[in-house]
Amino acid sequence: MIATPPVEPVAAPWRRRPLDDVLADARATFDIPRGRPTILAVDGRQGSGKTTIANQLAALVPGTVIVHSDDVAWWEAFFDWAHLMANGILEPLQHGVDVDYRPHAWEARDREGSIMVPAKAPLVVIEGVGVSRRSLVPMFDGAFWVQSDHSEARRRGLERDGGSQAKAKGCHQWYSDS
């Protein structure tokens, strides 16, 4: 049995625009306090192209730092990591403080390194599924939603995560055909 894609709102009307124009328009509306970076969320379903958009934004603004929610949420419950993002990354940046964050799960499982974000970065992009959730939105200056065709996102996600339906079973429910 094939899983039915979720019902989605109509994403129209829309028009194609260069990302640098969209970023310029968005930044013109921000009232960013001096001494801290612009902080943007890039959210969307798995396989939608969030990392691609984050990388494209970073290419437009030299010195941009990208934080992947997968790193913050590593070994955490599926959506039980917002407090880690808020306390470890977003709140320090809001106060103009450099981030050198090592989540507890990294310590517990001997993962090397830390998440480092200088407060002097011009732009910080937080990308990942669920980053623009209600509890975190007040800590962002703006959010991008990456809308994608469900079947194309599924195809991309399968390709990224191992390339087969068998490998994806049990990992991402909406990838599953059963």
Domain boundaries, position 131: 36-147
> pLDDT tens for residues 108-124?
999 999 999 999 999 99
Residue 113 CA to its chain's centroid (Å): 20
Residue 99's nearest CA partner among 86, 88, 111, 110 is 88
Whether 21 maps to a domain, the answer reads: no
Answer whether residue 171 shows pLDDT above 50. no
DSSP 3-state assignment of 123?
A: strand
Which residue bears the tokens 């039980």?
Answer: 80
How many structural domains is the chain composed of?
1
Provide the whole-model pTM: 0.82
Of the listed ranges 11-15, 42-46, 54-58, 152-156, the least confidently predicted one is 152-156
**Kind of pairing between the strands at 115-117 and 99-101:** antiparallel
| pLDDT on residue 175 | 37
| pLDDT on residue 39 | 96
Whether 29 maps to a domain, the answer reads: no
What is the domain-level CATH number for residue 136?
A: 3.40.50.300
